[in-house]
């Protein structure tokens, strides 16, 4: 049988800094969608990766004193890097592309040449503005208050010989695509694109750069590198083997079913991307979905503003599934949402600990207590319930009435109808890219099931097992069955926890499937139930906030500590004049103390010979005790710009030697002869 294919992508991330919770949001959403489609039996291709070229990366690498490749390797493959983060978050991508992969680079060169040979790329001169952080070109009139309209940062003048893509040629076709199809979602993004970018007149796009070298060379014109967005967008096709031999499933998976992207890159995906595909005469992706941002204190998170939230810290403290769930449950996927630790903890406590966790632990505990862990034969669904369930599963509207509103048969019917109809409602939400609404549907059933416990008061029934035993068993069965159906539909969001949940309620592999989620009564009635570990423990708000603060302070200290071992920048020599600009001085330690709340930082008060004390913070508390350094004669570079760490200024850097012994990092401060006076210059 030919399975339906589903190709879904995340944006490929810039490895210019460690990823934050905003990046994690998009990847978790894509993962949940991919897992949902797999659950339904689709043949899924889920691609993610990293977008490693461009001026920003080149500059960052220079700042770090390493080659661009070493720089990105560290962020992508290194400890707590991109790949580690996706592993931790249980991301089930089928493929990971790095735009520095040879096969991708060779394909992009061919793509560029094809568009050039077709006449859609031509040579000219670029004169305008450039936003380095966004790697975006702008005209004067597009700027907002003279700054980048996307990120609000300073732009710089750019004038250079460049190749241009005839974007203007495709303006009408792109406008038609946006206005007359469901290509771009949510619909609200269409007006923004058409009114802000297409109607004012689409200008041709500058697609090569000459002022830096970290990019894919234009092979027929050395000196030019391909504009990073052209390089990046085609990743969606090269990762399938388009114009390369590395993979062989372009024909099978292209066009993409959906690209999930953040709202600020919708322009690239809904205007530039389809235009280039039209030029290449390639099929267009079926959908682009522009999701909102996670905001912190109402603003976008960014490393430069220092307001990023570290997903590692949250996942380690609250658990991966709780974090995944929170991201998908709390923020409507197409809109912005305000992130806060309090909101995260509140969601865990309300939905996971109270609603879902309690349902599972109360039900399994009662099956254990009243039935020794296995329900008796015959407690499963009765014929009327099966008929109702079937109608609900087919999406029929069912109105339930009983003479007595406290009739237990009515309670049963209400629960059965809610749980049996859940899969259809959930599917509708997932198919329209509304995971938050799908979760809302699941939680309505979980809440209904908890209410069902209160309506049936099993502890009262249990007082007379002889009379009420069969009724109690049926109540328990219904609870297990409703829990199971919810569990199946929560699997794409919390895969590891749902496996544990299934083990506890005794749902074997046949009862964990998409098909079984649409069939009330799939769980065998006599299945063995065991009350296991508490799936979602309640979080103490104050204690957790305190721990988070500590973890964040420690992480800030770690960031300030010695960098991980990196391959040195060997491609460029430092000229003598540049070298001479570094001001190394002998300094004497007058005082040294640990920085409160940081495990790594020591605060030095130094005599640098100037007559005024110099303060330097150094992340070396793992190697030295503060008191043992007082009186030592050290070396510092003193003309670095001051840097804030843990709210304190650090004016310079102490010089140390770092090496590795049996995989462990060793650090030695450079100590010189005490006879050398403070302030002596090293040259």
Q: Which residues bind ligand MSP (CB under 6 A)?
A: 11-14, 22-23, 25-26, 51, 232-233, 235, 261-262, 264-265, 293-294, 300-301
Identify the residue whose tokens are 């001479």. 580
Contact (Cβ atoms closer than 8 angstroms) between residue 215 and residue 53: yes
Phi, psi of 383 (to 5 degrees): -55, -45
**CB nearer to ligand MSP: pick between 12 and 162:** 12
CB of 274 to ligand MSP, least distance (A): 13
**CB nearer to ligand MSP: pick between 165 and 604:** 165
Contact (Cβ atoms closer than 8 angstroms) between residue 636 and residue 594: no
**CB nearer to ligand MSP: pick between 51 and 385:** 51
**CB nearer to ligand MSP: pick between 233 and 480:** 233
CB of 438 to ligand MSP, least distance (A): 19
- The Cα 462–Cα 371 span in angstroms is 10
H-type alpha helices, 491-540:
495-505, 514-517
**CB nearer to ligand MSP: pick between 11 and 381:** 11
β-pair partners for 584: 637
Q: Measuring CA to CA, how many Å separate 640 from each of 61, 507, 575, 649?
A: 17, 62, 18, 12
CB of 238 to ligand MSP, least distance (A): 11
Q: Name the closest residue to ligand MSP (Cβ).
A: 262
Q: HEC profile for 226-255? A: ECHHHHHHCHHHHCCCCCCCCCCCHHHHCC
Strand pairing class (184-185; 287-291): parallel
**CB nearer to ligand MSP: pick between 151 and 680:** 151
Give me 73's structure tokens: 């390797």
- The Cα 529–Cα 59 span in angstroms is 58
Identify the residue whose tokens are 């490393």. 303
CB of 341 to ligand MSP, least distance (A): 15
CB of 572 to ligand MSP, least distance (A): 25
Q: Which of 580, 606, 609 is nearest to 591 (CA)?
A: 606
**CB nearer to ligand MSP: pick between 261 and 635:** 261
Helices and strands: H and E segment counts in the chain: 26, 24
CB of 533 to ligand MSP, least distance (A): 32
**CB nearer to ligand MSP: pick between 134 and 353:** 134
CB of 134 to ligand MSP, least distance (A): 8
**CB nearer to ligand MSP: pick between 104 and 600:** 104
- The Cα 513–Cα 214 span in angstroms is 47
CB of 91 to ligand MSP, least distance (A): 14
Give me 214's structure tokens: 């970290």
Contact (Cβ atoms closer than 8 angstroms) between residue 121 and residue 207: yes
**CB nearer to ligand MSP: pick between 23 and 436:** 23
**CB nearer to ligand MSP: pick between 305 and 451:** 305
CB atoms within 10 A of CB 252: 12
CB of 418 to ligand MSP, least distance (A): 33
**CB nearer to ligand MSP: pick between 262 and 487:** 262
CB of 32 to ligand MSP, least distance (A): 15
- The Cα 259–Cα 30 span in angstroms is 9
CB of 643 to ligand MSP, least distance (A): 24
- The Cα 75–Cα 308 span in angstroms is 16
CB of 190 to ligand MSP, least distance (A): 18
CB atoms within 10 A of CB 186: 18
CB atoms within 10 A of CB 78: 18
Q: Which residues contact 196 (CB under 8 A, 6 or more apart)?
A: none
Q: Measuring CA to CA, how many Å separate 199 from each of 141, 172, 206, 459?
A: 14, 10, 19, 68
Identify the residue whose tokens are 């015959």. 378
């Amino acid at each position: 049988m030919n399975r339906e294919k589903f190709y879904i992508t995340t944006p490929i991330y810039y490895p210019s800094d460690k990823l934050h919770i905003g990046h994690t949001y998009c990847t978790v959403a894509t993962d949940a969608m991919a897992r949902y489609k797999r659950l339904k039996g689709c043949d899924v291709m889920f691609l993610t990766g990293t977008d490693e070229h461009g001026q920003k990366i080149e500059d960052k690498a220079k700042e770090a004193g390493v080659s661009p490749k070493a720089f990105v390797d560290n962020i992508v493959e290194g400890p707590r890097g991109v790949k580690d983060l996706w592993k931790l978050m249980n991301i089930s991508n089928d493929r990971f592309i790095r735009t520095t992969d040879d096969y991708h680079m060779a394909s992009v060169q061919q793509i560029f040449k094809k568009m050039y040979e077709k006449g859609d790329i031509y040579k000219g001169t670029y004169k305008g503005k450039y936003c380095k952080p966004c790697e975006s070109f702008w005209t004067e009139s597009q700027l907002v208050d003279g700054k980048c309209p996307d990120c609000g940062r300073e732009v710089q003048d750019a004038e250079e010989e460049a190749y241009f893509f005839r974007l203007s040629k495709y303006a009408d076709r792109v406008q038609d695509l946006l206005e007359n199809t469901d290509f771009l979602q949510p619909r609200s993004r269409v007006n923004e694109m058409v009114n802000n970018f297409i109607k004012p007149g689409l200008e041709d796009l500058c697609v090569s750069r000459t002022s830096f070298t970290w990019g894919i060379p234009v092979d027929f014109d050395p000196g030019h590198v391909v504009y990073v967005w052209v390089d990046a967008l085609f990743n969606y096709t090269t990762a399938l083997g388009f114009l390369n031999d590395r993979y062989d499933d372009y024909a099978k998976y292209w066009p993409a079913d959906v690209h999930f992207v953040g709202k600020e890159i919708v322009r690239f995906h809904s205007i530039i991307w389809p235009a280039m595909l039209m030029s290449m005469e390639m099929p267009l992706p079926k959908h682009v979905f522009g999701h909102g941002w996670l905001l912190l204190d109402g603003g976008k998170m960014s490393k430069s503003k220092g307001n990023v939230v570290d997903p590692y810290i949250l996942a380690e403290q609250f658990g991966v599934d709780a974090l995944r769930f929170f991201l998908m449950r709390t923020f409507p996927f197409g809109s912005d949402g305000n992130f806060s630790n309090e909101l995260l903890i509140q969601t865990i406590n309300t939905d996971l600990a109270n609603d879902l966790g309690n349902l599972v632990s109360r039900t399994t505990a009662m099956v254990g207590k009243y039935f020794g862990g296995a329900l008796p034969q015959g407690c499963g669904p009765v014929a009327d319930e099966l008929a109702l369930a079937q109608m609900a599963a087919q999406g029929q509207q069912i109105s339930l009435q009983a003479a007595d509103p406290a009739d237990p048969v009515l309670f049963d019917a209400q629960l059965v109808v809610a749980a049996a109809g859940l899969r259809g409602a959930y599917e509708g939400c997932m198919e329209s890219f509304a995971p938050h609404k799908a979760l809302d549907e699941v939680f309505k059933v979980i809440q209904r099931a908890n209410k069902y416990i209160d309506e049936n008061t099993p502890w009262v029934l249990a007082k007379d097992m002889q009379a009420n035993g069969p009724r109690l068993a049926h109540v328990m069965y219904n609870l297990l069955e409703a829990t199971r159906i919810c569990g199946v539909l929560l699997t794409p969001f919390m895969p590891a926890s749902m496996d544990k949940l299934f083990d506890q309620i005794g749902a074997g592999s046949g009862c964990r499937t998409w098909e079984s989620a649409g069939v009330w009564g799939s769980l065998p009635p006599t299945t063995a139930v065991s009350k296991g570990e508490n799936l979602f423990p309640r979080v103490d708000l104050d204690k957790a906030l305190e721990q988070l603060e500590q973890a964040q302070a420690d992480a800030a200290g770690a960031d300030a500590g010695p960098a991980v071992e990196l391959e040195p920048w060997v491609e460029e020599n430092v000229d003598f004049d540049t070298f001479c600009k570094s001001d190394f001085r002998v300094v004497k330690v007058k005082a040294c103390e640990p920085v409160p709340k940081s495990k790594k930082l020591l605060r030095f008060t130094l005599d640098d010979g100037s007559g005024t004390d110099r303060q330097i913070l150094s992340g070396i508390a793992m190697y030295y005790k503060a008191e043992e350094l007082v009186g030592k004669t050290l070396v510092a570079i003193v003309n670095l710009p001051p840097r804030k760490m843990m709210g304190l200024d650090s004016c310079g850097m102490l010089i140390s030697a770092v090496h590795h012994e049996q995989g462990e990092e060793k650090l030695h401060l450079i100590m010189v002869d005490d006879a050398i006076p403070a302030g002596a210059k090293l040259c």
